[in-house]
Amino acid sequence: MIKEQSILLDKLENSLDSSSKVKKEAWEMLQEVGLPSQKSESYKYTQITSILEKKADFDLVEQKTFDKKELYKTSGSHLVVINGVFSKPDSLVESGVFVDTEEVTEGKHDPFSLLNTAFSPEEITIKTKGEVSPIFLYQVNSVGFSNPRIKVSAGKSQEISIVEKSINESNTFCNSYISFDLDENSKINYSKIQAYNEDSLVHETIFAEQLRDSRFYSNIFTFSGGLVRNNITINLADENCVGYMNGLYILDGKSHVDNNTSVDHLKPNSYSNELYKGILDEKSTGIFNGKIYVRPDAQKTNAFQTNNNILLSENASIHTKPQLEIWADDVKCSHGCTSGQLDEDAIFYLRSRGISEKNAKAMILNAYAAETASYIPVKELKEEVEHLISNKLI
């Protein structure tokens, strides 16, 4: 097993920029902790190391031209990041939005965050001042191995809406890392559409750190991907914070999507709410792991978690695991997960009124899925997501 891991890391060693202290340290730490082994509890259903071993080609460098048609359709800032590098000429940055690039700073210490730190070309920082329109972030990942690193900071009472879409080419492995710093009373709403190529491998780390009175919303919609692993962490590090995690995965083919989420209540009086829904067809696999931590200090915490799944095929599978660890005694926490088939009685009811079986199913599934889109603040994106849901279901 150790040998297997080192094969992957050995391959990469030559491309490490050892002049950077931060990268060098991350690399050394990674050597120590290693990539997740077959026994790793957190990657139990996603044997990512052996999959990368088999499928990822770290050497492949193939730059594809980027279709700009999609860009600039809506008002707001449009930022283009190609293989982790901010492309200034392609981007449109409105006043009040500040995009800078700098050397990568230290990140989280789990294996894929360390990997990102070690190999990311630059850290792209996004800040705002005053009231700003939504920021659209387009990522193109066309090389064999990319490590985009983005940091969004919302200053005191700043409100930022970010919409992210990525184009990931076949046979690529993208290991992205996006972090959100929320200062007092700020708000960030982050929405992401994951509609990847069936042969692409993706590992995404999403990390939010919240200060007093701040609100963070994440809305992640996954429609396809060979392997998609989302590590989402929200740290409610201060009092009176609100953290929402909404997710939807509608999968078919052999798509494999693993959502590993964690909400950490560190201080009193904060609220978190997590809603993840899945629809799984054909031979797709879904994994949901939701952790809630309520630390000893975090009295009067309200923390809720729901994960619902509908399986449309006998060959589809879902592994769902809620995990609550509560040290405080005066808290309200709940969690629930369900997995089931479509309600046959409901389908018969609609069909008995003349609606075709296909339409009846789509209607029920659409209504089921739509709830997860309710927190998208950008109208165009909400419509696009609803459209994607309908297209996927009919």
Partner 1 sequence: MLTIKNLHASIEDKQILKGINLEVKAGEVHAIMGPNGSGKSTLASVLAGKESYEVTDGEVLFEEKDILDLSPEDRARLGIFLAFQYPIEIPGVTTTNFLKTALNQVRESRGEKTLDAVNFLKMMKEKMKLVEIDQSLLSRSLNEGFSGGEKKRNEIFQMAMLEPKLSILDETDSGLDIDALKIVANGVNTLKSSTTATIVVTHYQRLLDYIVPDFVHVLYNGKIVKSGDKTLALELEEKGYDWIKTDVAEVV
Positions that interact with partner 1 (CB under 8 A): 343-346, 348-357, 359-360, 363-364, 366-368, 370-371
Q: Smallest distance from the beta carbon of 223 to partner 1, in angstroms?
A: 19
- Smallest separation, CB 278 to partner 1 (Å): 16
Among residues 153 and 308, whose Cβ is nearest to partner 1? 308
Helix segments in the chain, DSSP class H: 2-13, 21-33, 48-55, 111-119, 344-351, 357-370, 379-393
Of 130, 138, 373, 125, nearest to 244 (Cα)? 373
Tell the smallest beta-carbon distance from residue 394 to partner 1 (Å).
12
Minimum distance between the CB of residue 364 and partner 1, rounded to whole angstroms?
6
Name 375's Cβ contacts closer than 8 Å, sequence gap at least 6: 189, 217, 219, 244, 246
When the beta carbons of 329 and 345 are compared against partner 1, the nearer one is 345
DSSP state of 113: H
- CB of 324 or CB of 346, closer to partner 1: 346
Nearer to partner 1, 265 or 277 (CB): 277
Q: Which CB atom, from 92 or from 346, has the smaller least distance to partner 1?
A: 346
Closest to 307 measured CA to CA, from 284, 274, 341: 274
Find where tokens 């007092």 sit.
184
State in angstroms the smallest separation of the CB of 355 from partner 1.
5
53 vs 386 by CB, closer to partner 1: 386
CB of 370 to partner 1, least distance (A): 6
Question: CA 309, CA 77: separation in Å to the nearest integer?
Answer: 35
244 three-state secondary structure = strand
Q: Output the CA–CA distances (angstroms, integers) from residue 59 to 13, 56, 62, in the order listed.
A: 12, 9, 10
Task: Compute the least distance from the CB of residue 304 to partner 1, in Å.
Answer: 18
Q: Environment class of residue 344 by beta-carbon count within 10 Å: exposed (0-12), middle (13-18) or buried (19+)? A: exposed
Give 33 or 367: the residue with its C-beta nearer to partner 1: 367
**To 5 degrees, how large is the angle CA 276–CA 280–CA 289?**
40
* C-alpha span between 114 and 191 (Å, rounded): 24
Rounded-to-10 torsion of CA 107, 82, 217, 272: -30
